[in-house]
Structure 1
Amino acid sequence: MLFTIALLGVVLALAYSLHVKIFSYWEKKGVPHEKPLPLVGNMKGISRKYHFRDINQRIYKKFKGKAPIAGMYMFFKRTAMITDLDFIKQVMIKDFSYFQDRGAFNNPRDDPLTGHLFTLEGEEWRAMRHKLSPVFTSGKMKQMSKVIVDVGLRLGDAMDMAVKEAKVEGGNVEIKDLCARFTTDVIGSCAFGLECNSLQDPNAEFREKGREIFTKRRHPALVQTFMFTNARLARKLRMKVLPDDVTEFFLSTVKSTVDYRLKNGIKRNDFMEQMIELRAEDQEAAKKGRGIDLSHGLTLEQMAAQAFVFFVAGFETSSSTMSFCLYELALQPEIQQRLREEIESVLANVEGGELSYDVLAEMSYLDQVLSETLRKHPLLPHLVREVNRDYKIPSTDIVLDKGVLALIPVHNIHHDPEIYPEPEKFDPSRFDPEEVKDRHPMAYLPFGDGPRNCIGLRFGKIQAKIGLVSLLRRFKFSVSNRTEVPLILSKKNFLLGTDNGMYLKVESI
């Protein structure tokens, strides 16, 4: 009994010592910070009462202007929220070598689809980025845009069917799912060379798997939040984030696609073809869990991981952006009409009135509308970079130690009234050329910036623009009796999303 009590006392003493060591970090540094709670740090209520953007807003508002950074704790992870735009530029661009990695969860050994470009670190990331960059050149985008335009025509037909069904059911159309089916078909074709048929069949396999990635979690939301904010510890614990059936689906899809193309000598102008060309041979090092060696090309697992992130990032972000854009246009019909007039005016000067990559470039107001959508509704609440060696913040005595996370609060910067007056107002004129020129370049970060910006940003914007043009030419969007004003945003998903879908009144023109 005495031994048990003594052992318990030792455990409690060690726990307290660890608590003091971790949670006194910012106080010892003299950095303004919010007092942490045991175990959760500053994450109390995350995914239940609060979303990251809510917790970030509290800290951003409290400490902005007091120092370049504000200290916070994401559970046990020491995190520096950067509130100074000049310092954000240092982190993202000028001193990028100190902040190359995201500190994001990846565990290729046990969870192979997590070994993708977004999460890879160090030389593994550099090698993969170098290999994949040719996939996203303007020339490749121009070629892929032809496929997207074809899918856009099917999107219009699917919306027409939804409008007819809505008339019977009260006039409401759920916009988000339809946009997600469009982007699923686009990514399925551009990434895998497959006809997913999601627009014709809402329960098509690719659409179901895409939906499961965000709805069928392997762990409760709190555990997932812990994994993403304490990635290295989670990897040491051999944790996995993706359900096994999702992993198996993507691995088998990539394997069968690659085998079929090689066996039959089939070549397509898509993402998968580019990766097949990059793969020289399998690597024993990757198979044995020694990390990712890309010197000899890509393994099948690495190919599947890149295709997976292309699929997830491509279909979810673009479909959400399209949905939020249509929502804002429904609330402001004068902006919607101005955009529609620009679309028709540009296409009237094109032979056959056909949409193309070059024609999109002439639609300047469309670009402003999309930019304002991403300003008001950035898909990621924040960006994260991990300090890879001790770093002294310029013009201060503050040293960020190796392993500290630097957090850039994108959502909160985009909604800062000192940067964007009346931030809740949807106003595309914020992106008039002269307005953009006068604004700090780090005040707008929907795709990040610097060497580790979103590699697929050009593809995502083209996909969203073609989808919007395809819809706005044929339909008018307005508020219905089921439209939420304001929208009720989900607190459980890291990416921006709604709890109850997004319903609008849609009428054929």
Structure 2
Amino acid sequence: MKRRRLAYCGFYTFAQPNFFILDPELSKRILSKDFQHFTDRCFFVNEEIDPFSAHLLSLKGSQWKLRRNKISPTFTSGKMKMMFETLLNCTKDLRVLMEDFAENYQIFNANEIFERFTIDIIGSCGFGIECNSLRDPNSEFTKYGKKALKEGAWHQFKMNVSIFAPNLFDSFRIPLNSPDVTRFFMNTVKETLRYREENNVVRKDFMHLMIQLKNNVKIENDDNIGELKSKDSGTAVSLTDQQIAAEAFLFFFAGFETSARTLTFCFYELASNMEIQEKLRTEIQNVLAKYGGRVTYDAVMEMTYMQKCISETLRKYPPIPGITRKCTERYKLPDTNVIIEKDVLIFVPISAFHHDPEYYPNPEKFDPERFSSENQFGRHQYAWLPFGEGPRACIGMRFAIMQVKVGLAALLQKYKFSVNSKTQIPFVFDPMHVFLTPKHGIWLNVEKIK
């Protein structure tokens, strides 16, 4: 279809019609300009059957608007800066582990290590719990965290049914999430809320901000992120314990795997391209020297080449290959006779845009300079969509980027990485995993810089 210069095409999944976008400009219109026609995602939501299905990612219509406006202020740059020290503390165990690998000439599976690292971060910042996954890979939090993703054919089938035939879940009262996973996270959140409220515990993390929302304390939106103007957006509705648990679960589910994969692929590319690794290390060391050798929020925000490396990693390896929207109001495509009827699913193929030589020449090459200001000029903004775009773009983008930056800064200033021969190249990606994942892991060598 692309070779025929078409901007869109269509297909069916069973009886469900789907509209597939082939043009970034049309993506911009659907995700942003004409968003009022495409406000919903296509995920299953039923708070009674599955309490953890009713979170910001899947809520629809006015429920989504209310929740988004309430939660948006918790993800501003000011709140990220507030959480930074809590996040940074999680790098201590990461550095201890890396020191051990280097001293004993051990290779390591980047997939596994960065999963455990980001579980520790999300557990600490999201739930106020020291998970210690880097010390104990079999910790309870790690066990249920990984089970939440439920790799395997049955879960993949359920995920597909929840998108293309969500009414079946309602009719047969089937929860998408495992009951034991729901119980674990629900009990964890409720116990954390109870302990903090009874003991007046204040901690610089996401859970503290959720407690403020529960108690109807207005959180300052210090940079107006995600402002949505609607007649009901100002309604004062506090969050219940169950709703807080659902949002904390989303924070965990969407935060640990995606950031772990980005770190994994970024370290793989740096280990495969030594000149890029050295250039990034030099930037890290030079910037940190200005801050007395300390990794601070301002320091990592100053690392511009690091941002280019992360952006290029997300281009080449977007955690999810595409995003969906549902047509909520009958829509006529501009300058055509094409009508998109209500309830048609819209697919925006992120991975296809990211690997299109029209926007990224030689797309399989890892080249951070694609994201220099000069090279970005003239390239369509919607040709890079790892976090989506428009009002329903990923609300946790800043936190995700901050996790990755801290991981890179903590390790690259003192360690050098190379690809071990155990890594299977080219990658075979796991078709049963929710996110883009190398089936056989990515194995790296590490040595300490003298």
TM range (shorter): over 0.9
User: What are the residue-to-residue correspondences of 1:346-357 with 2, within 5 Å?
Assistant: 346-350=287-291, 352-357=292-297
Which one-letter code corresponds to 1:301 in the other structure?
Answer: Q
Does the 8 Å contact 1:64/1:84 carry over to 2?
no
Task: Assess, with a 3 A threshold, how the Cα gap between structure 1 residues 231 and 65 changes in structure 2: closer, same or farther.
Answer: farther
Is 1:85 the counterpart of 2:20 in the alignment? no
User: What are the residue-to-residue correspondences of 1:210-359 with 2, within 5 Å?
Assistant: 210-215=145-150, 219-280=154-215, 295-350=236-291, 352-359=292-299
> Could you report, residue by residue, the CA deviation over 1:446-490 in whole angstroms, capped at 9, with x for unpaired residues?
001111110000000011110111111121111212012211111
> Could you report, residue by residue, the CA deviation over 1:342-380 in whole angstroms, capped at 9, with x for unpaired residues?
100111121x21111111121110000000000000001
Task: Assess, with a 3 A threshold, how the Cα gap between structure 1 residues 162 and 232 changes in structure 2: closer, same or farther.
Answer: farther
Q: Distance in 1 between matches of 2:139 and 2:434?
A: 25
Aligned to 2:368: 428
Aligned to 1:416: 356
Q: Distance in 2 between matches of 1:151 and 1:77?
A: 45
Give the secondary-structure state (helix, strand or coil) at the position aligned to 2:447: strand
Which one-letter code corresponds to 2:419 in the other structure?
Answer: V
Q: Of the two, which has the highest radius of gyration? A: 1
Aligned to 2:409: 469
Aligned to 2:226: none
Which one-letter code corresponds to 2:141 in the other structure?
Answer: F
Does the 8 Å contact 2:29/2:35 carry over to 1?
yes
Is 1:482 the counterpart of 2:413 in the alignment? no
Aligned to 1:383: 323
Could you tell me which of 37, 54, 68 is aligned with 1:115?
Answer: 54
Does the 8 Å contact 1:82/1:409 carry over to 2?
yes
Aligned to 2:219: none
Which one-letter code corresponds to 2:9 in the other structure?
Answer: A
Could you tell me which of 148, 159, 164 is aligned with 2:98?
Answer: 159
Does the 8 Å contact 2:423/2:440 carry over to 1?
no
Is 1:440 the counterpart of 2:380 in the alignment? yes
CA deviation after TM superposition for structure 1 residue 205, in Å: 1.4
Which one-letter code corresponds to 1:337 in the other structure?
Answer: E
Deviates more, 1:218-227 or 1:497-506: 218-227
Does the 8 Å contact 1:107/1:238 carry over to 2?
no
Aligned to 1:101: 40
CA deviation after TM superposition for structure 1 residue 243, in Å: 1.1
CA deviation after TM superposition for structure 1 residue 106, in Å: 2.0
Q: Distance in 1 between matches of 2:254 and 2:445?
A: 28
Query: 1 or 2, which has the higher helix percentage?
Result: 1
Does the 8 Å contact 1:181/1:202 carry over to 2?
yes
Q: Distance in 2 between matches of 1:162 and 1:210?
A: 25
Does the 8 Å contact 1:98/1:388 carry over to 2?
yes
Aligned to 1:17: none
**RMSD value over aligned CA atoms?**
1.8
Higher RCO, 1 or 2 (CA under 8 Å, sep at least 6)? Answer: 2
Deviates more, 1:72-81 or 1:399-408: 72-81
Deviates more, 1:385-394 or 1:478-487: 478-487
Q: Which runs of 5+ in 1 are unaligned?
A: 1-61, 282-293
Task: Assess, with a 3 A threshold, how the Cα gap between structure 1 residues 64 and 142 changes in structure 2: closer, same or farther.
Answer: farther
Does the 8 Å contact 1:76/1:230 carry over to 2?
no
Could you tell me which of 128, 140, 150 is aligned with 2:79?
Answer: 140
Query: TM-score, length-normalised on structure 1?
Result: 0.82
Give the secondary-structure state (helix, strand or coil) at the position aligned to 1:201: coil
Does the 8 Å contact 1:64/1:83 carry over to 2?
no
Which one-letter code corresponds to 1:453 in the other structure?
Answer: A
Does the 8 Å contact 2:156/2:434 carry over to 1?
no
Q: Which runs of 5+ in 2 are unaligned?
A: 217-234
Task: Assess, with a 3 A threshold, how the Cα gap between structure 1 residues 82 and 216 changes in structure 2: closer, same or farther.
Answer: closer
Does the 8 Å contact 1:191/1:311 carry over to 2?
yes
Is 1:188 the counterpart of 2:128 in the alignment? no
Q: Distance in 1 between matches of 2:114 and 2:63?
A: 34
Could you tell me which of 456, 467, 491 is aligned with 2:396?
Answer: 456
Is 1:394 the counterpart of 2:330 in the alignment? no
Give the secondary-structure state (helix, strand or coil) at the position aligned to 2:149: helix
Query: TM-score, length-normalised on structure 2?
Result: 0.92
Q: Distance in 2 between matches of 1:89 and 1:279?
A: 35
CA deviation after TM superposition for structure 1 residue 277, in Å: 1.5
Query: Identical aligned pairs, as a percentage?
Result: 42
Does the 8 Å contact 1:392/1:398 carry over to 2?
yes
Count of matched residue positions in the alignment of Structure 1 and Structure 2: 432
